[in-house]
Amino acid sequence: MHWTEAKVIFESSEPIMAGDLISNIFYNLDLQGVCIEEPDDWPHEPLDASFQVGRDYAVSGYLPLDNKTEGRRSTLEESLAILERENNIVSKIVYRKIDEEDWAESWKKYFSPEKITDRIVVKPTWRQYSPEKGETIIEIDPGMAFGTGTHPTTSLCIEMIEKYIGPGDTVLDIGTGSGILMIAAAKLGAKKVWGVDNDETAVRIAKENLQLNRIDAPEFRVMKGNLAKGIKRRFNIITANILSEVIVLLLDHIKGVMEREGILICSGIIEKNAGIVLDKMGRIGLETVETRSKGEWVTIAAKKNR
């Protein structure tokens, strides 16, 4: 399959925040494989000579070449123009056509082992890492699916799972992507973990990553589906690292798959949308037990009380 790499090279007085905001534009386009580059990360000469190596921040997203490509490009350009007006984030886009193999190699340069908590370390399959005593290693190859552990939305979810999971709990991961949250839950003691994603590629990659981590028992399964529709059982913990707009839709049906006193962990929420999600949780009878944030991203844990 062929893709268009859209590299957004930007300048901002708050580059970390700016990188998150630009990443969120790509996530709103329903894309996978977003890479954030910091100045010291540049492995090659920039594609545009007006930007100097070692000085620039960039976010790259990958647009599949299909009948939606032009529409996505237009939306990206319009959204970046809004960021420049409202947030003083100056940017320019460099487009490049690549195939899937080139895509995989292009972003792997920027993915290294990441210590998420005192216990959990996420390690890409192509990197070497010697674990310290007490560390649990998650081996991951995200392929074309979202979820490497390096993005704040994923690392916040893993932190929350570690805090709230109990021995023998059951877990449902909605929008599982690479399967990284399923693997974390299994390694932290869950006895049953299900994952659901509406993308067939993500389902395949999640299954491969489960096997890579030797999590292939019958109690661990991944399926193609739309949010929680068609799920007929209840779970102690549900994770949803997806867009806040989709979380709001999910909340209409979430209590039907939650055990009494079950915990819902929602991530992928930009700060300005957190109030919308919290308000909807309150209206359906979920009690917020904790919120955590990194940069512009918010993760919420809520409990079912009735």
Do 118 and 241 fall within a single domain?
Answer: yes
Q: Among 50, 74, 108, where does a domain finish? A: 108
Do 56 and 176 fall within a single domain?
Answer: no
Do 92 and 142 fall within a single domain?
Answer: no
In this prediction, residue 89 carries a pLDDT of 93
In this prediction, residue 290 carries a pLDDT of 96
In whole angstroms, give the CA distance from residue 231 to residue 252: 14
Do 67 and 186 fall within a single domain?
Answer: no
Do 122 and 171 fall within a single domain?
Answer: yes
Do 282 and 229 fall within a single domain?
Answer: yes
In this prediction, residue 103 carries a pLDDT of 62
Domain at 285, CATH number: 3.40.50.150
CA distances 24 to 113, 136, 235, 270, Å, are: 23, 30, 29, 8
Count: domains in the chain = 2
Do 196 and 278 fall within a single domain?
Answer: yes
In this prediction, residue 108 carries a pLDDT of 66
Which segments of the chain have a pLDDT < 70?
Answer: 1, 30-33, 40-55, 100-110, 142-150, 306
In this prediction, residue 141 carries a pLDDT of 78
Do 127 and 76 fall within a single domain?
Answer: no
In this prediction, residue 29 carries a pLDDT of 80
Predicted model pTM: 0.74
Do 180 and 233 fall within a single domain?
Answer: yes
Please report the sign of the dihedral spanned by the C-alpha atoms of residue 48, residue 50, residue 53, residue 55. negative
Domain hosting residue 170, numbered range: 114-304
Do 79 and 141 fall within a single domain?
Answer: no
DSSP letters along 133-191, please? TT-EEEEE--TTSS--S-SHHHHHHHHHHHHH--TT-EEEEES-TTSHHHHHHHHTT-S
- Residue 58 in contact with residue 7, Cβ under 8 Å? yes
Do 200 and 279 fall within a single domain?
Answer: yes
Residue 241 CB neighbours (<10 A): 26
